Amino acid sequence: MSVAHGGVRVWLRLEGLAAFAVSTLLYARSGDGWGTFLLLILAPDLSMIGYVAGPRAGAAAYDVAHSYTLPLVLAAVGMVAGSTRMVGLALVWTAHIGIDRAVGYGLKYSTSFQDTHLGRIGGKDRARTPDAAIT
């Protein structure tokens, strides 16, 4: 299992910060209320309930909810349909993913919640090279 390290990890975390900042700025300009933003900003973390079924199911559920793919599709559908609500929801979702990535919460491997594509959460990374396995 490979994890990002060094400059690559820094760029991925900066990318997350940029996604958070741009999504939040666009949301602010959308006219939607901040109550909705605050209510929904942690909603993608409900996917962690999947860990009740084990680390493989938990990682799959978490990764689906924390990939940019679905919120970008939601934003595109919302734009085509003329739904500012859908676009607003997509912006909150991408803001959540962005801030998670900025602070080091990456996509999960099925080995453990702590094992992510950005490195191990909650301690020193055990992987030192791009191809080193997390054990």
Say what the pLDDT of residue 130 is. Answer: 38
pLDDT (tens digit per residue) in 26-53: 999 998 899 999 999 999 999 999 999 9
Say what the pLDDT of residue 41 is. Answer: 97
Packing angle of the helix pair 6-30, 84-102 (nearest 10 deg): 150
Query: Which structure tokens are listed for 108?
Result: 């999960």
CA distance 99 to 128: 24
The ranges assigned to domains in the chain are 6-120
Say what the pLDDT of residue 121 is. Answer: 86
Say what the pLDDT of residue 6 is. Answer: 87
Say what the pLDDT of residue 54 is. Answer: 96
Say what the pLDDT of residue 134 is. Answer: 38
How far is CA 82 from each of CA 24, 74, 76, 86, 103, rounded to the nearest angstrom? 20, 12, 10, 9, 33
Pick out the chain residues at pLDDT < 50: 126-135
